[in-house]
Amino acid sequence: MRATLLLLCGCLVASACGDAPLSSASGPTGVGPDAILLRVPRGGGELRAYRSGRDSVLWQSAGRAPATTALLGFDDFLGLLIGRDKSEHAYSVDLRLGSVETLGSATFPGAVQAEGAAVFGLDAQGRILRVTPVATWSWKPGGTTDRLIPNPDGSLVILSDSPQRSRLMRIIPPEDHVTDSASLPSVHFAVRTPVGDRIWFVTDSGLISLRSDDLTRAMTIRLRDPVTVAEPTPSGDRLYIATTRSSIRIVDRFTEEVHGRIDLPSPATALRMDPDGHYLLVRTEAKDSVIVVSVGTERVVGTLAGSWREDLPLVTPDGRVLLARGADVVHVDAETGRERVRYTGGADDLWQLVRWNGFRPRAAGLDKPVEFDDYAADSAAAERALAAMMASRYGDPSSVVKVPSETDPRPALPEAVPGRAGTPDSPDPVASETWTVSFATLLAEDRATEMAERIRVDGRTARVVTGSRDGIPIWRVVLGPFDTRDAAERAGMSSRLPYWVFEGVP
């Protein structure tokens, strides 16, 4: 019986797959966020978006991006693409509205990094800068700052080098209080895991891993050869390191040792990991080709012709590689090299892969309130209490004149007396609706006021409303009121900040 079942399963798999080879990088379709390729003109202009694997334009920005030197990252929550222009300013592109805006007035003359919608760097005076769509924060620590390592949890690790030792400090902007610190042998460079739980530091003696949340040491690995480049897997379970030898070594985080080696034709000069962890792209001394390494089998599976740049090559979820080839950008199979899509003239532009569902049409049912049968009695009681309160404040609701809708079969009531509740001269307070946009609830009035002053939408400035919660004073940053919920939603989206809309005025 078991043999029969196994044979039947084998026949089903063979009939489904045919002669086509199975690819470990073929991701599910229709599940999870969409893979979007963003194309940004290096010399400035409108941005374009494509679905991965297609050459038809999915979206084009309404605003024009400035001449761009680098794309820094993407915030999938706010739908913001972050870049740096030729004047060394950071800017954002709102994929929902298509607008392009400069982030603050600060310039970043040196290295710059982004984590979400926050941009970190050093100004000409050596101050640490953090620029967001809302505010600019700066801090001058004691001593010099050589490298900044922002983390997904909002913290920032500051590295200061010296000939003998490197000093590490951890802060959580906008606070300037040092929460943790550490000292290491002189660090050559550092690599953070994508999930943000570990930071690998390369020293003369090998590798040192620290926990990002408190800078305590997690492991130390001794190596004889100096490490030139390193790249972790998306989960951080393995670290690929290259030395002056013609091979890549694999460090296992759990066994805390080097457990494998991948031979190369020449020493690696750069590594780039697939965001899904299927492939590792390797650059060697042959600068016109890219070596593809399978993470699952730990072996070289292909070599692709193309240039190595800051933005390209990159691996897409469908198991293909986007790379610059001559004047164009091509989308090819990672292992076979077969060309699938060609973007003519794309080599002059910058490219970014983002995972985002914002271009999908929104179902109308998502905006309908959810009703729970279990709470029907409570809702009825609440409505009766509200009606009693309104009656005591504005009079008997039965005296209000109701204007029938087109679908209301009941006849219209006689014309009301001028000045009576419910007439145009005296609008009915019960029937009117207002909506308010809320951005934050803070425990410090000065911070709430500062945030409100920076939020401006269509000439309107946010305001601060004082309240209390469990006897503790709070300050809410709100905008409005608006006559309709749609108007409030548009204002919230235009702010490019996290927000929620509620009915009424606080």
* pLDDT tens, residue by residue, 236-268: 999 999 999 999 999 998 888 898 899 999 999
In a domain, 506, yes or no: yes
Read off the pLDDT of each residue in 17-30 and give the average, rounded to a whole number.
39
> On the CB side of 291, how many CA atoms lie within 13 Å of its CA?
24
* pLDDT tens, residue by residue, 402-459: 333 344 443 343 333 333 333 334 344 434 478 899 988 888 888 888 888 889 888 8
Query: What's residue 497's pLDDT?
Result: 83
Q: Are 153 and 196 in contact (CB under 8 A)?
A: yes
Per residue, the 3-state secondary structure of 205-254, as one string, reads: CEEEEEECCCCCEEEEEECCCCCCEEEECCCCCEEEEECCCCEEEEEECC
Q: Are 135 and 93 in contact (CB under 8 A)?
A: no
Q: How many Å apart are CA 32 and CA 354, to the nearest integer?
A: 12
- pTM (two decimals): 0.69
Please name which of 252, 321, 318, 311 lies closest in space to residue 280, comparing C-alpha atoms: 321
Query: What's residue 368's pLDDT?
Result: 55
**Cα→Cα distances 113→149, 150, 197, 307, 428, Å:** 8, 8, 18, 23, 54
- Band of residue 367 on the pLDDT scale cut at 50, 70, 90: low
Which is more confidently placed, 35 or 504? 35
* pLDDT tens, residue by residue, 158-199: 999 887 899 999 999 998 899 999 999 999 999 999 999 999
Q: Which domain holds residue 462?
A: 419-506
In a domain, 360, yes or no: no
Read off the pLDDT of each residue in 463-470 and give the average, rounded to a whole number.
83
Which residues sit opposite 130 in a β-bridge?
120, 137
Mean pLDDT (the chain, rounded)? 82
Query: What's residue 91's pLDDT?
Result: 97
In a domain, 437, yes or no: yes
Number of domains in the chain: 1
In a domain, 79, yes or no: no
In a domain, 461, yes or no: yes
Q: What is the phi/psi pair of residue 347, to 5°?
A: -70, -20
In a domain, 467, yes or no: yes
Alpha helices for 115-170 (secondary structure H): none
In a domain, 22, yes or no: no
* pLDDT tens, residue by residue, 66-110: 999 999 999 999 999 999 999 999 999 999 999 999 999 999 999
Query: What's residue 475's pLDDT?
Result: 87
**Cα→Cα distances 134→38, 247, 440, 496, Å:** 24, 46, 12, 9
Q: How many Å apart are CA 193 and CA 153, to the nearest integer?
A: 13
Query: What's residue 11's pLDDT?
Result: 42
Query: Is 50 exceeded by the pLDDT of residue 230?
Result: yes
Read off the pLDDT of each residue in 51-57 and give the average, rounded to a whole number.
94
- Here the CATH number for the domain that contains residue 465 is 3.30.70.1070
392 φψ region: left (φ > 0), alpha (ψ -120 to 50), beta (else): alpha
In a domain, 26, yes or no: no
Query: What's residue 424's pLDDT?
Result: 39
Read off the pLDDT of each residue in 133-146 and give the average, rounded to a whole number.
90
Query: What's residue 429's pLDDT?
Result: 42
Which is more confidently placed, 20 or 64? 64
Hey, what's the torsion of the CAs at 114, 115, 118, 121, to 10 degrees? -40
- Band of residue 294 on the pLDDT scale cut at 50, 70, 90: very high
